[in-house]
C-alpha cells in the first residue's frame, strides 16, 4: 500500500509499504477514505525528530471503511463507515473507567512515562503506524472506532478523530460561565473549532492570531478577532474589550507552534542536530517550547479565571510565572483529548445538515495522498492560505 513516511526533518515521502494485517483478536483493518495533516504532525516534521525512525508512517486523523475484524471485535463489521480516534484505548482499565482515555493503562508507553499510545506519533507514544495511508491496522477495535452514518461527505465526520473532541475538551476545561467570555490564542484548526463550539454554547469569543486567512475564517463564524501582528500588547487589548478585567477564560491553542522567543527556537533547532540519544534527553529534561503565548494567556485571563491549555508543549523545564498564576488565582486545566468521552456531545452537531459548527468550512486544501509532501510543506510554512489539509485516496 501507499503511506506517508518520515525520512528526516522536513522530509516526508509517499512510499510503498507492506499492507497491515490482523495481529490480535481485537484488531481491525480499515481502508482509509480521508485522513488529515494535524498541527501536531508538524512537531514531528520540524522539532521532535529524535523520537522518530526513518520509514515511520505518519498520521492520526483517519476515517474509512472496515475491511476486516478480529475474532473478538463485535461492535463493528466489514462495510461499516468509521472514524478512528487518535488515541488508542482499551475501554476497560481504571483510567478508561474514568473516561480519561488518553491515559489508558493498557496502552500507556511506560518506557517514556507517557500516556496512551497514539497513531503515527513517534516512539514517545508507542511507535504505532499511522493513518496517512491506504490502510490502517486499528488495535483495540473492540472499543475505539466510532461508527458514523453513510451518505454525508467525509468532511462532516473526519474531525471526530481529533479536532472536534480536542476543541470540545478545550472549551469544557475552560469552565466559561454562562454568557461569559473566552479568548482563544491561535486560530489554527483547534482554535477555530474551540471558538465555534464556545459560541454555540453561548459564550462571547475573541480569537487572536496573526495569519490573515485564519482571522478571516474566524470572522466568518462570528468570532471577534485581534490581529497580533498589529498589537504589541494583546493582554491590554483584551482587558479593554472586557471592562478592564480580561476574559473569563483563555484557551491556549498554540503550544510550541508559537512565534517569537528566538532563544527557545535555537534550542529546538540545536536539539534536532544532536545525536538521538542526547537529543531525547534534551527534550525530556530541558525546556524546548516557545512560551510567549502561554505567558500572554496567563497575563490576559481575568483574576479568578480559567486557563485551558490544549496546544501541545514538549519540554519539561520551561519557565512559568508561578507567582502570577498564584496571585491571580488562575485555575489551569490541560491535557491530551479524551476523544470518546466527548463523541456523544458532538454527534448532534455533525449529524445536522445545518452544519452548526461549520465543519465543511475548515479544510482549505484537499489533496490526493500522493501529494502529502506538498501538503506538509504549505501547512508548515502557512503558504497558500493553508489552515487545514485533508488527504484522500
Same-domain status, 145 and 253: no
Cell of 291: 512560551
Same-domain status, 140 and 200: no
CA 47 from centre of chain? 16
User: Where residue 192 sits, what CATH number does that domain have?
Assistant: 3.40.50.720
Least confident segment among 22-36, 258-272, 297-311: 258-272
Same-domain status, 355 and 235: no
Q: pLDDT of 91-121, one tens digit each?
A: 999 999 999 999 999 999 999 999 999 999 9
Whole-number Å distance between alpha carbons of 146 and 352: 17
328 has pLDDT over 80:
yes
What is the model's pLDDT at position 256?
67
Q: pLDDT of 32-55, one tens digit each?
A: 999 999 999 998 988 777 889 999
205 has pLDDT over 80:
yes
Q: Alpha helix locations (H) across 203-314?
A: 212-220, 234-241, 262-273, 276-285, 292-300
Domain extent for 133 = 2-162+338-392
Q: Which of 296, 318, 334 is the last residue of a domain?
A: 334
239 has pLDDT over 80:
yes
CA torsion through residues 346, 352, 357, 362, sign: positive
Whole-number Å distance between alpha carbons of 306 and 335: 14
Same-domain status, 297 and 384: no
- What's the average model confidence in pLDDT over 12-35? 98
Other C-beta atoms within 10 Å of 114: how many? 18
Same-domain status, 213 and 291: yes
pTM of the model: 0.91
User: Where residue 343 sits, what CATH number does that domain have?
Assistant: 3.90.180.10
- What's the average model confidence in pLDDT over 153-163? 98
- What's the average model confidence in pLDDT over 172-182? 97
Q: pLDDT of 278-291, one tens digit each?
A: 445 444 444 444 57
In this structure, the strands spanning 331-334 and 306-309 are parallel
Same-domain status, 87 and 204: no
320 has pLDDT over 90:
no
What is the model's pLDDT at position 51?
87
Q: Look at the chain and report how many structural domains it folds into.
A: 2
Same-domain status, 156 and 275: no
- What's the average model confidence in pLDDT over 303-307? 97
Same-domain status, 8 and 55: yes
Q: Which of 334, 350, 375 is the last residue of a domain?
A: 334
Exposure of 219 in the CB half-sphere (CA atoms within 13 A): 10
The torsion defined by the Cα of 298, 118, 373 and 168, in degrees rounded to 10, comes to -40
- What's the average model confidence in pLDDT over 16-32? 98
Same-domain status, 117 and 186: no
What is the model's pLDDT at position 270?
42
149 has pLDDT over 60:
yes
Place of cell 483563555: 250
Same-domain status, 286 and 145: no
Q: Which of 334, 360, 382 is the last residue of a domain?
A: 334
260 has pLDDT over 80:
no
What is the model's pLDDT at position 324?
85
**Mean pLDDT, rounded, of the chain:** 91
What is the model's pLDDT at position 393?
86
Same-domain status, 120 and 202: no
Same-domain status, 284 and 364: no
Amino acid at each position: 500500500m501507499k503511506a506517508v513516511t518520515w525520512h528526516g526533518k522536513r522530509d516526508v515521502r509517499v512510499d510503498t509499504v507492506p499492507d497491515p494485517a490482523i495481529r490480535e483478536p481485537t484488531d481491525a483493518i480499515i481502508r482509509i477514505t480521508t485522513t488529515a495533516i494535524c498541527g501536531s504532525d508538524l512537531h514531528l516534521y520540524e522539532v521532535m525528530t529524535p523520537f522518530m525512525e526513518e520509514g515511520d508512517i505518519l498520521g492520526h486523523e483517519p476515517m474509512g471503511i472496515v475491511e476486516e475484524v478480529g475474532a473478538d471485535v463485535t461492535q463493528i463489521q466489514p462495510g461499516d463507515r468509521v472514524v478512528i480516534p487518535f488515541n488508542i484505548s482499551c475501554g476497560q482499565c481504571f483510567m478508561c473507567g474514568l473516561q480519561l482515555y488518553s491515559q489508558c493503562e493498557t496502552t500507556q508507553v511506560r518506557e517514556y512515562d507517557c500516556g496512551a499510545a497514539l497513531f503515527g506519533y513517534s516512539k514517545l507514544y508507542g511507535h504505532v503506524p499511522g493513518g496517512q495511508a491506504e490502510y490502517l491496522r486499528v488495535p483495540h477495535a473492540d472499543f475505539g472506532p466510532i461508527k458514523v452514518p453513510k451518505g454525508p461527505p467525509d468532511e462532516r465526520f473526519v474531525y471526530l478523530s481529533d479536532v472536534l473532541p480536542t476543541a470540545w475538551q478545550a472549551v469544557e476545561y475552560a469552565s466559561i460561565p454562562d454568557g461569559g467570555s473566552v479568548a482563544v490564542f491561535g486560530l489554527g484548526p483547534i482554535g477555530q473549532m474551540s471558538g465555534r463550539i464556545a459560541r454555540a454554547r453561548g459564550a462571547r469569543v475573541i480569537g487572536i492570531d496573526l495569519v490573515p486567512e485564519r482571522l478571516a475564517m474566524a470572522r466568518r463564524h462570528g468570532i471577534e478577532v485581534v490581529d497580533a501582528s498589529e498589537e504589541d500588547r494583546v493582554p491590554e487589548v483584551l482587558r479593554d474589550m472586557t471592562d478592564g478585567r480580561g476574559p473569563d477564560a483563555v484557551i491556549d491553542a498554540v503550544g510550541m507552534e508559537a512565534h517569537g522567543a528566538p532563544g527557545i527556537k535555537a534550542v529546538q533547532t540545536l536539539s534536532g542536530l544532536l545525536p538521538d540519544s542526547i537529543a531525547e534527553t534534551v527534550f525530556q529534561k530541558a525546556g524546548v517550547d516557545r512560551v510567549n503565548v502561554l505567558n500572554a494567556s496567563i497575563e490576559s485571563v481575568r483574576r479568578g479565571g480559567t486557563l485551558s491549555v490544549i496546544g501541545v508543549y514538549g519540554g519539561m523545564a520551561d519557565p512559568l510565572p508561578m507567582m502570577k498564576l498564584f496571585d491571580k488565582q488562575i485555575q489551569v486545566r490541560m491535557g491530551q483529548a479524551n476523544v470518546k468521552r466527548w463523541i456523544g456531545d458532538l454527534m448532534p452537531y455533525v449529524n445536522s445538515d445545518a452544519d452548526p459548527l461549520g465543519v465543511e468550512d475548515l479544510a482549505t486544501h484537499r489533496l490526493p495522498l500522493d501529494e502529502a509532501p506538498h501538503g506538509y510543506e504549505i501547512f508548515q510554512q502557512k503558504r497558500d492560505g493553508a489552515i487545514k489539509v485533508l488527504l484522500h485516496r
